[in-house]
């Protein structure tokens, strides 16, 4: 090693970010740096330190210098060293006093040199709701960890070297091919791999379609105004508004969105399989009508198939996209079927939009992890995704059935509306009781939403009072208590 490197006044540890400076030589500087890292809490109790050789290489010092520093700090009680466990930061409730020194420590045999083991303080955590019945979230405890890990390992082992370079903005070919097969089989989508673009989820897809392509100066792929259902996620409306897109509310009735009221818009966003949040499907005549409108106007339908796999009372209805792949943009993700933590979604595009969306993404994949894409491709191809969806379909159906049964027994005047599908249900309330029910739920630590929270501010008329209850969110062991709490805050007849 060059002397100029060894004799530098300051050195930084690549893994521990230790600054070696001050009087007394390198050994004393390393001891000071490690003490300060523990004292400040930057090295938490139980943290395993690098081996002598690794830290010495990082800092540009001799191996014996690190060994001596570790031994000194073990003697002082800052660190512990055990055979097979390496060197770790000692467990203690409080940092050592700044004035502690070696003279206060005994050197006799036995336990005198060991740091006392004191239970570690638990850092404070933000308190969440006691009962989480919020919509849109799957049961996190049901994530298929073992099957996903198996797919991840296979994907990593079989990945060609070029996987670890810049990603294709269209997404990995393996995933687009797997999606082509799965979506055709399970959702009736007609497409090919070159017309699928991978994204990180539905919100990312909206940005790619409607926000101007700032890095190249190109205009957005689609322009407003955009017709939307009169009830939907305010987050999506806000995202569109941020891109300069005006949204026009489309009334809903028992048959879904009123496609006959589409006027001068060139695009419409729908949730036809299971309207969010009211829960009804788009009637077959309306499905045909909206495609006819798009053909006549030269427009496009955006189909948000957010939970299309989860229909419990019959076979899931196929996607509208199958009626006309050149007039429908099909949008999907794994946020409901697997987890929102797996940031993967897809756009199935008419051919004329593919180049514009790829230009909006840029020359390299900057959003969706390539390794996650390969894992999902394997997860689909080996059948694990189908098995997981079938398992969760049974679980969520059971959850919904328990909700209906609890209401029938304890609040028979409350009706569950919408079809048996998805991850949420709407409870119809007596007129004028929604605000007080939402407030009572909050007081009891129940997380849920009132139906009014999803109403478009320009919607011509309001739907009846209701609560949007996410029955998929709680873990299995917590669901019974959540139902009891919910029934306790419902308004009387």
Place of tokens 């009123």: 258
Of 229, 183, 209, 160, residue with least CA distance to 374: 160
Question: Which domains are delineated in the chain?
Answer: 3-104 (1.10.10.10), 131-137+387-489 (3.90.1150.10), 144-383 (3.40.640.10)
Predicted confidence at residue 113, as pLDDT, reads 41
The residue length of the chain stands at 493
pLDDT of 302-341, one tens digit each? 999 999 999 999 888 899 999 999 999 999 999 999 999 9
Entry pTM:
0.77
> Which two three-digit tokens encode residue 241?
């508004």
pLDDT of 191-210, one tens digit each? 999 999 999 999 999 999 99
Place of tokens 């796999």: 309
Least confident span in 82-96, 116-130, 220-234, 303-317: 116-130
- Write the DSSP string, 238-281: HHHHHTTPPEEEE-EETTEE-GGG--S-SEEEE--SS-TTT-PP
Give percent of the chain above pLDDT 70. 88
Those residues whose C-beta lies under 8 Å from the C-beta of residue 50, and which sit 6 or more positions away, are: 15, 16, 58
> Which two three-digit tokens encode residue 269?
């966003």
Residue 407 confidence class, pLDDT cut points 50, 70, 90: very high
Of 298, 227, 214, 221, residue with least CA distance to 265: 227
d(CA 458, CA 449): 20
Q: For residue 104, is pLDDT > 70?
A: no
Q: For residue 264, is pLDDT > 80?
A: yes
Q: For residue 92, is pLDDT > 80?
A: no
Of 292, 488, 324, 297, residue with least CA distance to 407: 488
Instruction: Tell me how far apart the 2 most distant CA atoms of the chain are, in Å.
Output: 92
Place of tokens 């540890």: 13
Under a CB-based contact definition with an 8 Å cutoff, are residues 325 and 319 in contact?
no
**Burial status of residue 193 (CB atoms within 10 A of its CB: 0-12, 13-18, 19 or more):** middle
Under a CB-based contact definition with an 8 Å cutoff, are residues 219 and 212 in contact?
yes
Outline where DSSP puts E strands in 251-341.
252-253, 256-257, 267-270, 300-304, 328-333
Under a CB-based contact definition with an 8 Å cutoff, are residues 57 and 104 in contact?
no
Residue 424 confidence class, pLDDT cut points 50, 70, 90: very high
| DSSP classification of residue 167 | P
Q: What is the CA radius of gyration of the chain?
A: 29
Q: For residue 109, is pLDDT > 60?
A: no
Of 356, 289, 271, residue with least CA distance to 327: 289
């Amino acid at each position: 090693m060059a002397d100029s490197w060894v004799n530098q006044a300051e050195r930084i540890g690549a893994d521990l970010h230790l600054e070696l400076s001050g009087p007394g030589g390198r050994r004393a500087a390393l001891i000071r740096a490690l003490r300060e890292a523990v004292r400040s809490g930057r090295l938490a109790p139980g943290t395993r330190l690098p081996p002598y050789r690794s830290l010495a290489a990082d800092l540009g010092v001799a191996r014996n210098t690190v060994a001596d520093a570790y031994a000194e700090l073990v003697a002082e009680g800052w660190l512990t060293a055990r055979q097979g466990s390496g060197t770790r930061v000692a467990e203690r409730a409080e940092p050592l006093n700044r004035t502690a020194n070696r003279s206060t420590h005994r050197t006799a045999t036995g336990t005198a040199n060991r740091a006392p083991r004191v239970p570690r303080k638990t850092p404070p955590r933000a308190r969440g709701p006691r009962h989480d019945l919020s919509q849109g979230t799957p049961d996190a405890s049901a994530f298929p960890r073992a099957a996903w890990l198996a797919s991840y390992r296979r994907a990593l082992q079989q990945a060609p070297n070029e996987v670890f370079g810049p990603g294709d903005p269209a997404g990995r070919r393996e995933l687009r091919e797997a999606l082509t097969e799965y979506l055709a089989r399970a959702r009736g989508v007609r497409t090919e791999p070159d017309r699928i673009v991978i994204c990180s989820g539905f919100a990312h897809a909206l940005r790619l379609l409607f926000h101007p392509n700032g890095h190249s100066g190109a205009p957005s792929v689609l322009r407003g105004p955009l017709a939307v259902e009169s009830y939907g996620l305010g987050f999506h409306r806000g995202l569109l508004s941020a891109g300069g897109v005006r949204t026009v509310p489309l009334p809903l009735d028992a048959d879904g969105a009123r496609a006959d009221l589409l006027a001068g818009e060139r695009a419409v966003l729908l949730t036809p399989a299971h309207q969010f949040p009211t829960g009804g499907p788009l009637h077959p005549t309306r499905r045909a009508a909206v495609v006819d409108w798009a053909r006549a106007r030269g427009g496009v339908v955006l189909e948000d198939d957010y939970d299309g796999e989860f229909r419990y009372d019959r076979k899931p209805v196929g996607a509208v996209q199958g009626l006309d792949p050149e007039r429908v943009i099909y949008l999907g993700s794994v946020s409901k079927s697997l987890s929102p933590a797996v940031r993967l979604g897809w756009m199935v595009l008419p051919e004329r939009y593919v180049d514009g969306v790829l230009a909006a993404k840029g020359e390299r994949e900057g959003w969706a992890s390539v390794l996650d894409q390969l894992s999902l491709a394997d997860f689909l191809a080996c059948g694990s995704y189908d098995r997981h969806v079938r398992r969760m379909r049974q679980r969520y159906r059971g959850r919904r059935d328990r909700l209906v049964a609890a209401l029938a027994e304890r609040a028979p005047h409350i009706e569950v509306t919408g079809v048996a599908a998805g991850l949420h249900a709407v409870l119809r309330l007596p007129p004028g009781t929604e605000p007080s029910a939402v407030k009572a739920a909050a007081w009891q630590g129940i997380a849920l939403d009132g139906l009014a929270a999803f109403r478009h501010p320009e919607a011509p008329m309001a739907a009846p009072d209701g609560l949007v209850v996410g029955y998929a969110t709680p873990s299995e062991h917590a669901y019974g208590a959540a139902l009891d709490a919910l029934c306790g805050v419902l308004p009387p007849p």
